[in-house]
Amino acid sequence: GESVGLHLPTLSVQEGDNSIINCAYSNSASDYFIWYKQESGKGPQFIIDIRSNMDKRQGQRVTVLLNKTVKHLSLQIAATQPGDSAVYFCAENRNEKLTFGTGTRLTIIP
């Protein structure tokens, strides 16, 4: 069946470096994507979203890139800080359902 979020389960990054978290999706009909951050013991928190008619969107220290040709989504975090440690999920809108990937745990090395 189709799946979303075929990305690495863990990522360790040196504090101050940039982080890149990747996500693959398989449904070319998906038209809206969101990145969420989940800290331990908390609910997912919205980071940034992007529509399928865009290929890049920037927020504060974060950038989302969408490559529809290869069905790939990435989240770039600039100057990673200890507070960025969390699990990051990509989610896609399919048939008015937001389907989440399995998540990537980002660990910051001091």
Q: Which residues bind another protein (CB under 8 A)?
A: 5, 31-32, 34, 41-46, 49, 89, 93, 96-103
Nearer to another protein (CB atom), residue 24 or residue 32: 32
Nearer to another protein (CB atom), residue 77 or residue 90: 90
Query: Given the structure tokens 């890149």, which residue do they identify?
Result: 20
**Least separation in angstroms between CB 43 and another protein:** 3
**Least separation in angstroms between CB 10 and another protein:** 14
End-to-end CA distance of the chain: 40
**Least separation in angstroms between CB 41 and another protein:** 8
